[in-house]
Amino acid sequence: MTLKEFIIPAVDIKEGKAVRLFKGDPNAVKVYGENPVDMAKLWQEKGAKRLHIVDLDGAFEGKPKNYKIVEKIVKEVSIPIEFGGGLRSFDAVKAIIEIGVENVVIGSLAYQNQDEFEKIVSYFPDKVILGIDAKDGKVAIKGWLEKTQYSPLEFAKKFESYPIYGYLYTDVNRDGALVGPNIEGTKYLAENLSKPVIASGGVSSIEDVKKIYEFADLGIIGVVVGKAIYEGKINLEEL
């Protein structure tokens, strides 16, 4: 895998627009595009091999709210899409997979309703990425608003035997802040888990990406990048 293929551009959708939040705060919003579909197409044109789509309205409200936009993105781009945000029922997951999303990211539901989560991963093996959102060293749920008692590794280990695709590890305190990713935390998970790990949160430069890329042999298969590519700190075309 090349460095360019390692980068997974994020398209976060809020109120129909492409945005980024600062440290997961729903009130700290910066709009980067009026049309998320155009943004998704742009990253594909610049060479992205995969996209990370988040329905922020869905994450905060508990069910996907921007379904039509996601459906249009799937139709307009040809690269695989992983999607998260408000997937807290079997029916919600089924609906999003049926429109052609490659993988779904689920975090809150796994914590709140393990039986429902088990049903989803049994029905859709290798489609589910377990979202591990960490805030101050503990897993956070419900759009990062509520902290649990689990450390990231404790939470991940609960689902090691499930037929999931892998894990998405986000350090919420770094997300959208351009302060550098939690490399040690990501590496620690990859070393102690048998399934692939995707890194997320805080990437500020191509140097950050390179630092994570060094540990690809541990099972880190990509890094989600948002603000750094939106603000030109990483140029996909130059890679």
Give catalytic residues, as residue numbers. 12, 133
Helix count and strand count (H, E) for the chain = 11, 12
E strand or H helix at 111 = helix 108-112
Q: How far apart are CA 203 and CA 199, in angstroms?
A: 9
Q: Where are the beta strands (DSSP E) in 159-203?
A: 166-171, 197-200
* Residue (of 196, 192, 168, 193) closest to 182 by Cα position: 168
Q: How far apart are CA 182 and CA 174, in angstroms?
A: 8
E strand or H helix at 131 = strand 128-135
Contact 188, 163 (CB under 8 A): no
Q: How far is CA 18 from CA 9, 53, 81, 168, in A?
A: 12, 10, 16, 21
* Residue (of 99, 71, 96, 94) closest to 84 by Cα position: 96
